[in-house]
Amino acid sequence: MSSARRDPIAFELFKNTLFSIADEMALTIYRTAYSGVIKDGMDYSTAFCDAAGRTVAQGLTMPGHLGSFPDALAATLARFGDRMNPGDIYCLNDPFEGGMHLPDVFILKPIFHGGDRIAFAGTVCHQTDMGGRVARSNASDSTETYQEGLRIPPVKMYDAGEPNETLFRLLEKNVRVPVRVFGDMRAQLSACHIAEHAFLKLVETRGLDNVKDHMQELIDYTDRMTRAALRELPDGEWSFEDWIDDDGIDVGRPIRLHVTLRKSGETLVADWTGSSPQVKGAINNTLSYTKAATYTGVKSVLPAEIPNNEGFQRVVRVIAPPGTIANCVLPAATAARGLTGFRMVDCVFGALSRMLPGRVFAASDGGNTGVSIGGYHADRKPFVYVDFICSAWGGRPWADGVEGNASMFANLSSHPVEVIEVEHPLEILGMEFVADSGGPGKFRGGMGFSRDYRFLEEEGVLQVRSDRRVFRPFGLSGGKPGKPSMNIINPATEHRVVPAKVTMTIKHGDVYRHELPGGGGWGDPLERDPARVLHDVRNELVTPESAREDYGVVVDIPNWKVDEAATVALRASLCSRQEHR
């Protein structure tokens, strides 16, 4: 038995110390980053890994990066192996050599003690821009990875403490906003240095052999916890399919997502066989991102105290055939793969709802939606606005869907309106919930919101990655789907509806409105408490018409109360109609 298992108190103290190092890395990036997508949106992650590249602790940031560090470190180790030295730092973003998509740049620092590599500090941040044909390097209408920006395989960023000037020069000449990109990379470097300092202090106080023993035990502890939790779940096989509207290139051609969960004893397999082949548009997943979506869905039904590390990942196995949208191969475009990842979480929830009825909520808002606006000021200085907006969870078996909140897969925060307006040539004219957007149900889906952006420069490029216009967020157990998304140019004048995935020129004074989908409902809407319907009508979340048609509730508007007799009669009539369909 290891010393860690013999002394559970010492192990618990070590576990919390290592978790705090990963969290301190995350806080360092949050406090020192330059760009809004990181310091406001929090689109980044941190991890602490052992000498072999196995994740031991991950900071409390983005679930979308769960499981990404092992692939990044495996690619780096395959390239450099035993040629790593103290003071070396590595970076990469290549989706086909350890990365996920080009904006997500990994910075990895090996930690040495007595000349031996003993651990890695890892960070990944969504950079504002990595070059390519469209500002922010995130366009959904790219058709191959070569259009999307600068591909960086695992390379040395620092060699024995000296910066790789060639790499920095290439970055400077290929990205539109090098000050922001280099500022964010310095935040990542700072996080790695802080982790190194804290970990070496831990080694100094506890001894190297003891620390190695505890890291191994932390992985094994997570393995045991995961297996114990899985043993409590029913054995069997459950499948679910969902559909992405299209890839923005082959418009009108739906894209299938299909997952099968096979649970036996203390193991679980998530098999994405049956999902569509990889597509022309830039919404293809790397296997690591498919793993992240799967892990997020599965962890949602397991005890919250199970750590995020190798111990969990080796128990939950993910299968995705190469050449599919779940595991793309060259030359697939991946920049907008976030859309597919978010939809995969909903797909996993659908399968879990058949495995565990009453414990899983309906589909969320189908995103996030990615919005970017880029161009040049009058003095030719570039600007790039990047935002990922989320709004609603689906209805839950015990409560309404959360609204004004990020998807579970994102854990993002909204950019403050004041900061958007100060840093970019934009004015936010409105941000409000869209009435009737939440799917009706005994517990309704969370409401989607709309945001209106007025463009203030002479000309720019608007790029939007959204979905759920055709295949709306699904309800469960009789709940109805949420309202679809919408993109509108100049809603108060021409009211021009544009596709869900669009790259287009906008001019001074143009207003762009995005309406997020609402979450799906859970349970029969006719079973919803009429008092809750009244509350929603009073707060303009549900219209009186929807109260009648979807919930069978008649609201006496002048007196703000439920007409109980009329409601009983209407619900009886609606139930009769349903029975005869």
In a domain, 471, yes or no: yes
**What was the pLDDT predicted at 438?**
97
Same-domain status, 506 and 542: no
Same-domain status, 20 and 83: yes
Range of the domain at 85: 3-223
Give the residue from 540, 500, 521 showing the smallest Cα distance to 445.
521
In a domain, 247, yes or no: no
Last residue of a domain, one of 223, 240, 261: 223
Same-domain status, 401 and 377: yes
Please tell me the number of Cα atoms within 13 Å of 464 on its side-chain side: 24
**What was the pLDDT predicted at 171?**
97
The residue ranking higher by pLDDT, 368 or 172, is: 172
What does the alpha-carbon distance between residue 55 and residue 28 come to, in Å, rounded to a whole number? Answer: 19
Out of 35-49, 429-443, 490-504, pick the least confident.
35-49
Give the residue from 488, 447, 441 showing the smallest Cα distance to 364.
447
Same-domain status, 62 and 34: yes
What does the alpha-carbon distance between residue 529 and residue 191 come to, in Å, rounded to a whole number? Answer: 50
Binned at pLDDT 50, 70 and 90, residue 490 comes out as: very high
Task: Give how many domains the chain has, as a whole number.
Answer: 3
**What was the pLDDT predicted at 287?**
96
In a domain, 432, yes or no: yes
Pairing of strands 316-319, 267-271: parallel
What does the alpha-carbon distance between residue 187 and residue 34 come to, in Å, rounded to a whole number? Answer: 8
Q: Say if residues 345 and 398 touch (Cβ distance below 8 Å).
A: no
**Mean pLDDT of all residues in 456-477:** 96
In a domain, 283, yes or no: no
Last residue of a domain, one of 223, 254, 273: 223
Give the tokens for residue 87: 């003071």
Last residue of a domain, one of 488, 508, 523: 523
Give the residue from 359, 259, 345, 256 showing the smallest Cα distance to 302.
359
In a domain, 278, yes or no: no
Give tens-digit pLDDT for 524-559.
Answer: 999 999 999 999 999 999 999 999 999 999 999 999
Give the tokens for residue 186: 């310095």
What's the whole-number average pLDDT of the chain?
95
Q: Does residue 331 have a cis bond before it (omega within 30 degrees)?
A: yes
Other C-beta atoms closer than 10 Å to the C-beta of 430 total: 14
Same-domain status, 63 and 182: yes
In a domain, 265, yes or no: no
Given a cut of 80, whether residue 581 has pLDDT beyond it is no
Same-domain status, 10 and 32: yes
What does the alpha-carbon distance between residue 226 and residue 147 come to, in Å, rounded to a whole number? Answer: 41
Same-domain status, 216 and 154: yes
Same-domain status, 547 and 451: no
Same-domain status, 439 and 562: no
**Rounded CA Rg of the chain:** 25
Give the tokens for residue 209: 């052999």
Same-domain status, 550 and 495: no
Give tens-digit pLDDT for 378-424.
Answer: 999 999 999 899 889 999 999 999 998 888 888 787 888 999 999 99
What does the alpha-carbon distance between residue 244 and residue 231 come to, in Å, rounded to a whole number? Answer: 33
Give the residue from 185, 172, 512 showing the smallest Cα distance to 372.
512
Same-domain status, 65 and 195: yes
Give tens-digit pLDDT for 224-247.
Answer: 999 999 999 999 999 999 999 999
In a domain, 549, yes or no: yes
Angle among Cα 151, 157, 159 to the nearest 5 degrees reads 145
Same-domain status, 500 and 397: yes
Measured in whole angstroms, how far is the alpha carbon of residue 262 from the centre of its chain? 24
In a domain, 43, yes or no: yes
